[in-house]
Structure 1
Amino acid sequence: MKRLLALALTLVLSPSAMARDSFQICWSIYVGWMPWAYADQQGIVDKWAKKYDIEIDVVQINDYVESINQYTAGQFDACTMTNMDALTIPAAGGVDSTALIVGDYSNGNDAIILKGEKDLAAIKGQSVNLVELSVSHYLLARALESVGLSERDVQVINTSDADMVAVYTTDDVSAVVTWNPLVSEIAAMPDSHIVFDSAATPGEIIDMLVINTETLAENPNLGKALVGAWYETMALMSAQTPEGAAVRTFLGEASGTDLAGYDAQLASTQMFYTPAEALALTESQVVYDTMKKVAEFSFDHGLLGEGAPDAGFIGIETPAGTYGSTTNVKLRFDPTYMKMAADGEL
């Protein structure tokens, strides 16, 4: 009897017996993440979830950093974010996370905009509004380096992306760092000038869908469904046909612009429309080198957690090798599911 009871408890408590069938992912407005809106509203996510006998709820969060905070707190199973924010928020918070989909890198979508000045050097002595300690902060640091300045030469003012446009319209704000579609909106305002953008740092601001590593390990069908839905949507939106234009029109309107505006944002985004394109970056030395730079910046700004002794405190696993601690890996670039998509195994 005791053996039967023990066996029953084992079955009840084992991960396979407790396999989940319902999940939530979140995303925020950005040109490279808008496809989740189409995949959700057009039933593509539901179709792939049904294929694997699960349910996936796709939720839009208007505040980017808040979406990552909610993921880190366990309210979502996966969330869209950049490589740096994946390191400094969930990974630094102890949440082991995996880059399930490497969707693109910013190739001009992130930018520094000055009001009334056309030269980056004019930023010296100014207050700069940005989402503090985000990739915008990282881009600012990289830009300042390029003209012999440092963060000591400016004053950073933390500003939510949800408030950025409204803040810029005020008389006392003259410099912002942000991302599209906000860049396009702000740059279109009178006497506004983009003085530096992420095209100068190719491959350094990577946009991803990040998933809880433990959740993925216990529920591989979630990874398969999400990747399958993503690449089906990529094929639809990248088609140079009237149907493809209709998808991009939907994405443009959903992000507050139109087809021309959205296509302009895509032009400054290195989208990976196929899994093979995503794998080419993910499996390259570029990701390792980029994450080393990002980790060093993050450590210098105290973003790797209290008591982090060096930039390698948090291990970052990439196909090219692990940067930092091999016993404290909390961020992983795992190409497994993108490979499945490339090989037609989903």
Structure 2
Amino acid sequence: MNRRIIGAICLVAVLLVTGLAPARAAERPTIKIGWSIYVGFMPLVYMEKSGILKKWGDKYNVDLKVTLVNDYVGSINQFIGGDLDIVTVAGMDGLTMPAAGGVDTTLFMIGDYSNGNDVLLSKKAGSVKELKGQTVDLVQFSVSHYLLQRALVKNGMTGLGDVKTVNISDADIASAYLTSPDVTNVASWKPMTDDMIKGVPGTKVLFTSQEIPGEIMDVFITKTATMKAHPEAIKALAGAWYEALGILSGNDAKAKDMREVMAAGMGTDVAGFESQEATTHFFKTAKEASDFLTAASTKEIWDNIRTFSFEQGLFGQGATSKDDVGISFPDGSVLGNTANVKLRVNDDITALAAAGKL
């Protein structure tokens, strides 16, 4: 399942599980890292194949086991249940699934944000404002739903109440737009939106995630107890990640090889990978990532995310306010309930990487 699908699936009871599920050998722990196929997570494939991950694991005397989970939501549920120690997620999902479900969760590294991968399209409307009163097809409670809300608000409208939304699966949305005259407006993501634009002449791009930089982010999360018990594993993963991103930043033979490996992992060619890479903002240095995690504007982003999440019922039936779930930040400040902090945006390891201390 695509990493962009959240929502209805996260409106289930989750178990509060702390620590690491399997027994660990004290001398060399094994840390299980779950991920699903998405352009922003593909460096993990190269890290494993190239030996970079093993090299950093050896440095910190830890085994980092990377596991591809084909079902994105399933990967988060495995994390919640204790079968995975670390998982890659869209930032909003880290809040609405483990954190809102009661799991004390730490966001310790950001990989990228969508910088045009998520798109609002129309066959007829010439602007976002012209969508008022119209129907928009999308995957309900996904980042596409969030994108639509932000598009409406940023164009002077009140929000989702100005339009009608129809829930449609990610498997069906492209074909519906291409074949059904009744489907005139959609919010979706690449590569499906590329097919829609090519297949329906005159399609207008009304809004993209490039207009909300940083808001649709992809991150690494772990349980706070794991973060405290195994900082060496987090350091090893961060060291490997930024070494790989350093290679991706280049134009030499190693960078070419890395793109070929990642493209193959996605089941596409290099051109297909680069098309999505072009609209994905990778944090290619730890300094840039650290600056983002500690910026005042990042708190504003999380306030937008938690507001949308609460209004859509993604905090669960018992939630009475967007403040019910506390979100803490590197400067010690908290959005929401200080007595119920369940998502911790943590810059400690990224800052070490930025300072060259890993």
Query: By the TM > 0.5 criterion, same fold?
Result: yes
1:334 is displaced (CA, Å) by: 0.5
The SS at the match of 2:238 is helix
Higher Rg: 1
Any idea what the Cα deviations from partners look like across 1:164-202, whole Å, max 9, x if unmatched? 545554525443323334443443333344321111112
Check 1:118–1:204 CA distance in 2 against 1; reply closer, same or farther (3 A cut).
same
Check 1:202–1:56 CA distance in 2 against 1; reply closer, same or farther (3 A cut).
same
1:338 is displaced (CA, Å) by: 0.8
Aligned residues with identical type, % of pairs: 41
Residue among 259, 262, 268 paired with 1:251? 262
Contact preservation (8 Å) 1:84, 1:134: no
AA at the equivalent of 1:128? V
Aligned ranges for residues 200-279 of structure 1 at < 5 Å? 200-279=211-290
Q: Does 1:95 align with 2:107?
A: no
Q: TM-score, normalised by structure 1?
A: 0.85
Contact preservation (8 Å) 1:110, 1:178: yes
Aligned ranges for residues 166-185 of structure 1 at < 5 Å? 166=175, 168-171=177-180, 173-185=183-195
Q: Does 1:86 align with 2:94?
A: yes
Contact preservation (8 Å) 2:90, 2:216: yes
Structure 1 CA distance, aligned partners of 2:99 and 2:323?
A: 12
AA at the equivalent of 1:179? W
Contact preservation (8 Å) 2:24, 2:30: no
Check 1:303–1:260 CA distance in 2 against 1; reply closer, same or farther (3 A cut).
same
AA at the equivalent of 2:266? S
Any idea what the Cα deviations from partners look like across 1:200-253, whole Å, max 9, x if unmatched? 112222211111211121111210121111111101111122321231233234
Aligned ranges for residues 36-115 of structure 1 at < 5 Å? 36-115=44-123
What is aligned with 2:352?
Answer: 340
Q: Which moved further from structure 2: 323-332 or 247-256?
A: 247-256
Check 1:76–1:36 CA distance in 2 against 1; reply closer, same or farther (3 A cut).
same
Structure 2 CA distance, aligned partners of 1:160 and 1:228?
A: 37
Check 1:169–1:21 CA distance in 2 against 1; reply closer, same or farther (3 A cut).
farther
Contact preservation (8 Å) 1:99, 1:209: yes
Check 1:162–1:155 CA distance in 2 against 1; reply closer, same or farther (3 A cut).
same
- The unaligned stretches of length 5 or more in structure 1 are 1-14
1:125 is displaced (CA, Å) by: 5.0
What is aligned with 2:314?
Answer: 303
Contact preservation (8 Å) 1:64, 1:161: no
Q: Which moved further from structure 2: 40-49 or 279-288?
A: 40-49
Residue among 33, 42, 46 paired with 1:25? 33
Contact preservation (8 Å) 1:16, 1:218: no
Structure 2 CA distance, aligned partners of 1:16 and 1:29?
A: 28
Any idea what the Cα deviations from partners look like across 1:86-136, whole Å, max 9, x if unmatched? 111111111111112111222212112334655434545554343322322
Contact preservation (8 Å) 2:178, 2:200: no
AA at the equivalent of 2:96? T
Q: Which moved further from structure 2: 217-226 or 41-50?
A: 41-50
Structure 2 CA distance, aligned partners of 1:198 and 1:16?
A: 41
Contact preservation (8 Å) 2:45, 2:261: no
Residue among 317, 326, 336 paired with 2:338? 326
What is aligned with 2:197?
Answer: 187
What is aligned with 2:12?
Answer: none
Check 1:114–1:19 CA distance in 2 against 1; reply closer, same or farther (3 A cut).
farther
**RMSD value, Cα:** 2.6
Q: TM-score, normalised by structure 2?
A: 0.83
Q: Which moved further from structure 2: 308-317 or 260-269?
A: 260-269
Structure 2 CA distance, aligned partners of 1:86 and 1:214?
A: 16
Check 1:31–1:115 CA distance in 2 against 1; reply closer, same or farther (3 A cut).
farther
The SS at the match of 1:203 is coil
What is aligned with 2:157?
Answer: 148
Structure 2 CA distance, aligned partners of 1:49 and 1:168?
A: 46
Any idea what the Cα deviations from partners look like across 1:264-304, whole Å, max 9, x if unmatched? 32332222101001011111101111111211121211212
Contact preservation (8 Å) 1:295, 1:311: yes
What is aligned with 2:10?
Answer: none
What is aligned with 1:315?
Answer: 326
Check 1:38–1:267 CA distance in 2 against 1; reply closer, same or farther (3 A cut).
same
What is aligned with 1:9?
Answer: none
Contact preservation (8 Å) 2:28, 2:61: no
The SS at the match of 2:292 is helix
1:18 is displaced (CA, Å) by: 6.2
What is aligned with 2:16?
Answer: none
AA at the equivalent of 1:189? G
